[in-house]
Structure 1
């Protein structure tokens, strides 16, 4: 996207925040697996970890997403930017879908209100990290600045 800054001065901070988001998801997933081990994969009960509803399926998905985010953050070179933006949008959509099925039998990931709020926040944080973490050459940065000043 042409309107996202290149070589933003705070890009290391945004990259670190994206990585910390991945660490949180892995931590949540591991604690969720410990708490729900031995239960059904998509159990719909009152199991909570870190104040959020979870089950074994939700925990496994959280670990996989967290590891993917961490890997992209460690690779860098705009791989994290390319992953964080669509993943941020997808997590916000997942949060809305979880909110829509909250008190129905279709709540397979055992979401609660707290879970949907956290998923939406994580999605927004990943969007922020994806939009301001782009790295480019000095020519790219100068072209962005000149286009920004003309607009």
Structure 2
């Protein structure tokens, strides 16, 4: 849900950029509506995630499977903040390995963390290339 909200917030800007600009007055109202909708979806996703952690703590499952819960948290953070999720995924995998319990969430967090980190570096490289090209073009 958190990722869907982020996508909803970014969608009108991506469409505006791909469409080559246009009527900025109409775009502002459209973007504002998407931003409000996306923000509500993000808030709902954070609330659902927080309530699930609270339920795990209250039911006592937090102490029994702390490495697995940390793996789930790491997976979410690997998508949002790749380096943080990657580090937490490694910690969760080490805890689960020590306890002798398999932890698919931790492995997924490590894979997603590395993937998002690599995609972030590639995206920034692309932005720099495009901005340098745009700055060097002579417009009539």
TM-score bracket for this pair, using the shorter chain length: 0.3 to 0.5
TM-score scaled by length of structure 2: 0.39
More helix by share: 2
TM-score scaled by length of structure 1: 0.37
Tell which structure's C-alpha radius of gyration is larger: 2
